Amino acid sequence: MNKIIFLASDHGGFSLKETIKKYLINNKIKIEDLGCSSLDAVDYPDYAKLLASKIENNNNSFGLLFCGTGIGISMAANRFSHVRAALCTSVEMASKSRKHNDANVLALGGRILTEELSKEIVFEFLNTKFEKGRHLLRVKKI
């Protein structure tokens, strides 16, 4: 994979971010960890904004965001017009978010997903291509 994967989390997603970071590194995927760097409480909108700025300046990139449920951080990320963040809790959701919505950011909940399922979701998200066609017209309307 040529794309750089940006990772960011708040304290609720920190442990899962660290697990996924190791998974990506072990699979020789280029990453940049934007924080947070501990379990100390931080505000998820700050990390969503930081990741959004990285995505904007690196057209050929993806982002992975983590918070307790994935809800707050995905909402914060989707405030930016160049971000299409998908909160996924299944492999099927990850697949459809890429095929049909051309999602460029995946949000995961550190307090609701197992590590193994999270790895499967990340794998699917990073390895599924956008189908374009009729979906491209819809994505352009976002």
- For residue 121, the enclosing domain spans 4-141
* DSSP H/E element including 32: strand 31-33
pTM for this predicted structure: 0.94
Residue type, 99: K
Q: What is the pLDDT of residues 44-56, one digit of tens each?
A: 999 999 999 999 9
**Torsion of the alpha carbons at 118, 122, 128 and 129, rounded to the nearest 10:** 140
Q: Which of 11, 67, 82, 88 is catalytic?
A: 67
pLDDT at 139 over 70: no
Q: Which of 11, 36, 88, 100 is catalytic?
A: 100
Q: What average pLDDT is seen over the chain?
A: 94
* DSSP H/E element including 17: helix 14-26
Domain count, the chain: 1
Q: What is the pLDDT of residues 21-43, one digit of tens each?
A: 999 999 999 999 999 999 999 99
What is the pLDDT at residue 133? 67
| 11 is an active site residue | no
DSSP of 68-136, one letter per residue?
A: SSSHHHHHHHTTSTT--EEE-SSHHHHHHHHHTT---EEEEETTTS-HHHHHHHHHHHHH-----THHH
pLDDT at 128 over 80: yes
pLDDT at 111 over 80: yes
Rounded Cα gap, residues 88 and 98, in angstroms: 11
| 135 is an active site residue | no
What is the pLDDT at residue 137? 65
End-to-end CA distance of the chain: 27
The CATH number given to whatever domain includes residue 126 is: 3.40.1400.10
What is the pLDDT at residue 131? 74
pLDDT at 140 over 80: no
Rounded Cα gap, residues 101 and 80, in angstroms: 16
Q: What is the pLDDT of residues 60-94, one digit of tens each?
A: 799 999 999 999 999 999 999 999 999 999 999 99
